[in-house]
Structure 1
Amino acid sequence: MKLSNNTIIITGGTSGIGLAYAKELLKRGNKVIVIGRNQKTIDRVMKEYKGLIGLQGDVSSLDSIRKMASFIKENYPEANVLFNSAGIMRSFKLLDEKMELEQATAEVDINLKGTMWMTQALLPQLCKQNEAMVVTVSSGLSYLTSPIHPVYSATKAGVHMYTDALRIQLNKSGKNIHVMELVPPLVAETNLEPNGTKGESTTSMPSMSLDTLVKHGIKGMEKNKKRVVPGLSKVLRFAGKFFPDSFSNSMVRG
């Protein structure tokens, strides 16, 4: 797919992976709309990166997604790329008796439901375009669990499976919509995990730079790749197939 003259919607586009791709895709002559929950953050990002278009919304809220989809349809009917980047990662103990049930599934609402809901809401519009694309962001941890991130890995495994199903259904429908799964390894620059679990930590793993991840993903989008599995994610994919228990156990110490 030619990555210019598109209208691109990026959830989680005001920070981390989403913002990194937004900046690169803007440079390539695309109209880029970044979605974020905090209007102050949106305003700051738009001021810093001239040309980006900001849209406030919450992918964990069905009401918000319906409003965003309606706004996009009315104001950007030509939108033809959806980049699902919104996500959170938390470490916590399942044996914590003080944790509310709602807190235990925050990643499900944003990482998994948000990806599914946003895609479903915009699919009718994407299907009307001559050529379109949906990008989902899973993780190397979709291939095996990180014990101190008990829900994150599960949601990313769900994103992986959902993306495959979406691709197959669209292929069979004859619609010209490319579906690519981006499978990032650890990218420390994203500050994805705001909190830690006291007394426990993941083992030291090499971190990929945001610039490198963006280069891998852009190349994959241009070539209509089914999935892009760069760096350590390849190792985690192999480990998930052949040594899931030993590798998961080695990811916790202390």
Structure 2
Amino acid sequence: MKLSNRTIVVTGGTSGIGLAFALDLLNRGNKVIVIGRNQATLDQVTNKHKGLIGLQGDVSNVNSVREMAAFLRDRYPEVSILFNSAGIMRAFEVMDSALDLERTTAEVETNLNGTIWMTEALLPQLARQNEAMIVTVSSGLSYVSSPLHPVYSATKAGVHMFTDALRIQLKKSKPNIHVIELVPPLVAETNLLPDMQSGGGIPSMSLETLVKRGIQGMEHNKKRVVPGFSKILRFAGKYFPDALSNAMARG
């Protein structure tokens, strides 16, 4: 798929992986709309990076998703790429007596529900384009669970499964929509690094390298981009998932 002269929506586009991809795509001559929950953060990012368009919204809130979809349909009907990057990662002990139920499901609402809701809400708009693309961001931990993050791995496994099913359905009904799963390993420039390195010494990848690999995959309409240590996790998930999960738990 040609990645220029397109209108692209990036959820979680104010930091980390989302922002890095948004800036790369902007520099390729695209109109890029970044979605974030906090208006002040959006203003800061769009003021710093001229050309980015900010859209305030919360992918974990279904009513907000509906409002964003209606806004995009009316103001940017030419949107042809959705990059689902919004996500959170939390470490907690399941026996923590101070843990509230809402905290245990926060990742489900953002990582999994948010990906599904944004995809479903924008599908009619994407289907009208001559060529369109949906990118979902899962994780190497969709293959092997991190015991320190008991819900995160589950949500990313859900994103992986949803993406596969989505791709197969659309191949039959809407072959003009490409579906790509980006499976990042631990990325050095994100705020997850210290937490994850304490859980098994997982090697990281630079954000620049991840973007390069991801863009190449998008240009070639790859089904799945599994760079760096994510390849090892994919292999381990097939043949010795318990051993690696236990190693990460020991730190």
Q: TM (normalized to structure 1)?
A: 0.96
Structure 1 residues 219 and 155 mapped into 2: Cα distance closer, same or farther (>3 Å)?
Answer: same
Cα deviation for residue 193 of structure 1 reads 7.1
Q: Superposition pairs for residues 165-204 of structure 1, below 5 Å?
A: 165-192=165-192, 201-204=198-201
Quote the Cα distance in structure 2 between the aligned partners of 1:87 and 1:146: 16
1:212 corresponds to which of 186, 199, 209: 209
* Range that drifts further, 95-104 or 9-18: 95-104
Aligned residues: 251
Quote the Cα distance in structure 1 between the aligned partners of 2:190 and 2:61: 23
Quote the Cα distance in structure 2 between the aligned partners of 1:66 and 1:243: 42
Structure 1: where are the runs of 5+ without partners?
none
Match of 1:30 in 2: 30
Q: In the alignment, residue 157 of structure 1 is paired with which amino acid? A: A
Structure 2 residue matching 1:178: 3-state secondary structure: strand
Fraction of identical pairs, as percent? 71
Structure 2 residue matching 1:106: 3-state secondary structure: helix
Structure 2 residue matching 1:159: 3-state secondary structure: helix
1:236 corresponds to which of 233, 236, 241: 233
Contact 1:89 1:193 in 2 (8 A): no
Structure 1 residues 193 and 119 mapped into 2: Cα distance closer, same or farther (>3 Å)?
Answer: farther
Cα deviation for residue 104 of structure 1 reads 0.6
* Range that drifts further, 110-119 or 169-178: 169-178
Cα deviation for residue 175 of structure 1 reads 3.3
Q: In the alignment, residue 35 of structure 1 is paired with which amino acid? A: I
Cα deviation for residue 162 of structure 1 reads 0.1
Quote the Cα distance in structure 1 between the aligned partners of 2:217 and 2:11: 19
Let me know the Cα RMSD of the aligned residues.
1.4
Match of 2:134 in 1: 134
Quote the Cα distance in structure 2 between the aligned partners of 1:187 and 1:65: 28
Quote the Cα distance in structure 2 between the aligned partners of 1:192 and 1:84: 18
Quote the Cα distance in structure 2 between the aligned partners of 1:32 and 1:38: 18
Match of 2:77 in 1: 77
Quote the Cα distance in structure 1 between the aligned partners of 2:29 and 2:205: 26
Structure 1 residue matching 2:86: 3-state secondary structure: coil
Structure 2 residue matching 1:81: 3-state secondary structure: strand
Runs of 4+ in 1 over 6 A off after TM superposition: none
Cα deviation for residue 201 of structure 1 reads 3.2
Contact 1:91 1:150 in 2 (8 A): yes
Contact 1:140 1:183 in 2 (8 A): yes
Quote the Cα distance in structure 1 between the aligned partners of 2:37 and 2:249: 32
Match of 2:99 in 1: 99
Deviations 1:36-95 (A, max 9, x none): 011111011111110000000000001100100000000000001000000000110001
Quote the Cα distance in structure 1 between the aligned partners of 2:192 and 2:202: 15
Cα deviation for residue 191 of structure 1 reads 1.0
Q: In the alignment, residue 241 of structure 1 is paired with which amino acid? A: K
Q: TM (normalized to structure 2)?
A: 0.97
Quote the Cα distance in structure 2 between the aligned partners of 1:210 and 1:193: 12
Match of 1:90 in 2: 90
Match of 2:40 in 1: 40
Deviations 1:20-45 (A, max 9, x none): 00000000000000000111110111
Structure 2: where are the runs of 5+ without partners?
none
